[in-house]
Amino acid sequence: MNSRYAQQIKLSEFGVSGQEKLSNARVLCVGMGGLGSALSAYLAGAGVGTLGLVDDDCVDLSNLQRQTLYRSRQLGQNKAFAAAAELNALNPEIQIKVYSERLSQQNLNTMLADYDVIADGSDNFQTRYLLHDACFTLGKPYVYASASAYEGYCSLFHGQQAPCLRCIFPNPSTGSSCSDEGVLGVLPGILGLIQASEVIKWIVGLGETLAGRLLRVDVKTMRFKELTLTKDPSCPLCSQRSGITALFDPSHFALHFEELATFIKEHNALLIDVRNPEEHAAINIGGRLLPLHELPSRLDELEKQQTIVLYCKAGPRSIKALQLLQEAGFSSLRYLKGGVSELSQQQILQCEPQV
Furthest C-alpha separation in the chain: 69
Please state the closest distance from residue 166 (CB atom) to Zn ion, in A: 5
Closer of 140 and 317 to Zn ion (Cβ): 140
Distances (CA, A) of 184 to 79, 149, 152, 175, 187: 20, 6, 11, 18, 6
Q: Of these, 235, 247, 314, 355, which contacts Zn ion (CB under 5 A)?
A: 235
Q: Rounded to whole angstroms, how far apart are CA atoms 350 and 355?
A: 10
Contact mark string toward Zn ion, 237..266, x via CB under 5 A = xx----------------------------
Q: Is 214 in the site for Zn ion (CB under 5 A)?
A: no
Query: Which are the contacts of 346, defined by CB distance < 8 A and separation ≥ 6?
Result: none
* Separation of first and last alpha carbons in the chain: 28
Beta bridge partners of 27: 51, 117
Please state the closest distance from residue 231 (CB atom) to Zn ion, in A: 6
Q: Rounded to whole angstroms, how far apart are CA atoms 355 and 336?
A: 14
**Is residue 219 classed as helix, strand or coil in its secondary structure?**
coil
Please state the closest distance from residue 328 (CB atom) to Zn ion, in A: 19
Instruction: Find the part of the chain contacting Zn ion (CB under 5 A) among 152-160, 166-174, 256-264, 288-296.
Output: 166-174
Q: Rounded to whole angstroms, how far apart are CA atoms 183 and 90?
A: 27
Number of shown-chain residues binding Zn ion (CB under 5 A): 6
Nearest residue (beta carbon) to Zn ion: 235
Please state the closest distance from residue 237 (CB atom) to Zn ion, in A: 5
Q: Rounded to whole angstroms, how far apart are CA atoms 244 and 241?
A: 5
Please state the closest distance from residue 170 (CB atom) to Zn ion, in A: 8
- Positions marked active-site: 178, 312
Smallest CA-to-CA distance from 273 within 250, 303, 295, 252 is with: 295
Q: Is 211 in the site for Zn ion (CB under 5 A)?
A: no
Question: Which phi and psi (to 5°) does residue 10 adopt?
Answer: -75, -10
Instruction: Find the part of the chain contacting Zn ion (CB under 5 A) among 31-39, 86-94, 163-171, 309-317.
Output: 163-171
Q: Of these, 140, 158, 166, 313, which contacts Zn ion (CB under 5 A)?
A: 166
Closer of 84 and 167 to Zn ion (Cβ): 167
285: left (phi over 0), alpha (psi -120 to 50) or beta: alpha
Closer of 108 and 167 to Zn ion (Cβ): 167
Q: Of these, 164, 187, 292, 340, which contacts Zn ion (CB under 5 A)?
A: 164
* Interface positions with Zn ion (CB under 5 A): 164, 166-167, 235, 237-238
